[in-house]
């Protein structure tokens, strides 16, 4: 069993723990939460991203890495997840473990707070490989077929005569909502960690969604 050395950078930091005897991942607790992005839509301000510090630094054994994933409950119900989907802590990194969490649209409203179990971490073995450049690759029955080629859809999307309008006069008009301007403001971020974080900046971005009629 590999030994992972861990250091509290502050007495309030919570060491990783497992929620059950058979849990594969170790729960990670937020020490400090700083709002990073607020989205404004229709006059309402909706938090969308946060910087999370843990107050922990680790020494991963050589040949291993730590991968940090979203918690299943926060990810499925609240759409809250690491912004880079999976955060990787390398064996030679000695800084504080930090995360940038984002809330995707459609989830139940929740804001991460200090003391909340915010993510889960797994220690994984890294297999060394040698890359060999070649002119040709071996052939297989599948070849370059991808994107669902091994499990084709059960239904045929091709429209039938019954489902196709006879002319434009009977066609159903499909219309998207009117354009909405969504300014997004990025606030200050904490110091740089193992994953590169953006430089300090404040900006406003406006996204417009076009209305299309068929």
Homologous superfamily of 5-125 in CATH? Answer: Deoxyuridine triphosphatase (dUTPase) (2.70.40.10)
Contact between 79 and 105 (Cβ < 8 Å): yes
Mean pLDDT of the 81-97 span: 95
- The mean pLDDT value of the chain amounts to 78
Q: Mind listing the pLDDT tens digit for each residue in 5-63?
A: 999 999 999 999 999 999 999 999 999 999 888 777 676 666 788 999 999 999 999 99
User: Which of 61-65, 115-119, 126-130, 177-181 is the least confident region?
Assistant: 177-181
* pTM, 2 dp: 0.64
Please tell me the predicted confidence (pLDDT) of residue 61. Answer: 97
Answer whether residue 200 shows pLDDT above 80. no
CA atoms within 13 A on the CB side of 186: 14
Residue 102, phi then psi, degrees to nearest 5 = -125, 150
Enter the tokens of residue 185.
Answer: 């403001």
């Amino acid at each position: 069993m590999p030994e992972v050395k861990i250091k509290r950078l502050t007495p309030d930091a919570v060491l990783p723990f497992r929620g059950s005897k058979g849990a594969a991942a170790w729960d990670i607790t937020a020490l400090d939460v700083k709002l990073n992005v607020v989205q404004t839509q229709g006059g309402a301000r909706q938090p969308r991203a946060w910087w999370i510090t843990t107050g922990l630094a680790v020494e991963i054994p050589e040949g291993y890495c730590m991968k940090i994933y979203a918690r299943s409950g926060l990810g499925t119900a609240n759409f809250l997840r690491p912004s880079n989907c999976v955060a990787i802590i390398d064996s030679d990194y000695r800084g504080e473990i930090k995360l940038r969490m984002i809330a995707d649209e459609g989830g139940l409203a929740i804001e991460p707070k200090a003391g909340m179990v915010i993510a889960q971490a797994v220690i994984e073995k890294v297999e060394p490989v040698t890359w060999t450049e070649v002119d040709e690759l071996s052939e297989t029955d599948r070849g370059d077929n991808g994107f669902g080629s091994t499990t084709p859809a059960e239904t045929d999307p091709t429209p039938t005569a019954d489902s196709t309008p006879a002319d434009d006069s009977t066609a159903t008009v499909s219309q998207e909502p009117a354009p909405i301007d969504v300014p997004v403001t990025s606030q200050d971020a904490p110091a740089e960690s193992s994953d590169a974080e953006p430089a300090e900046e404040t900006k406003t971005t406006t996204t417009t969604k076009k209305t299309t009629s068929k």
